[in-house]
Structure 1
Amino acid sequence: MAEYGIDTSHFKQRSPWRKYTDSAIAEAVAASTTLREVAQKLGVPPATGTLSHISRRVAAAGIDVTQFPGLNRSRTRYSGSAPKDRRAKTATGSTARSPR
């Protein structure tokens, strides 16, 4: 922009979300037991979008959150056993698609 002579000094230099360094987030995480507490320690309202953003920042920075019980769920969608295979064995031992 400067090469075209456009003044950009009135633009914010950084995104408001980046005003907290990874180290500041790590300190807040270490002193908290929930994402809501992390947001409060960073001085931002714990709204759903804010918590999602903080969660992504924590994951991107590789910050340990083992003390957060809600973030240590299994990443699988199903609980219990895996979904059943849709193929059924025929009397001859070959596999055939079962009806859906």
Structure 2
Amino acid sequence: MKGMQEKEDWRFKIANREALIGVALALFNFVWWFGFAYGLGSRPVEEYTYVFGLPSWFFYSCIVGFITIAVLVILVVRFFFKEVPFTEEGDEQ
């Protein structure tokens, strides 16, 4: 059994940071969807406006929301995530 004084693996710090970024993106996605779906969709049907033949609440919450989240995920992975090896230094396979 290894001593309690051993340092925590540096990869856990990176993994925790990236997990928090993922949770933040998921929360942003939900808030975006909920805000547009219920914000614009809670009016009577007679008052709906349409974009490309779709109700505006659906267009902005589902179509624009999906594109926005997809672009944000691509940018976050490209610029904020790091490639981390799964094996420790010195491990032989």
Taking structure 1 as the reference length, what is the TM-score of the superposition?
Answer: 0.27
Taking structure 2 as the reference length, what is the TM-score of the superposition?
Answer: 0.28
Q: Using CA pairs under 8 Å that are at least 6 residues apart, name the structure with larger relative contact order, 1 or 2.
A: 2
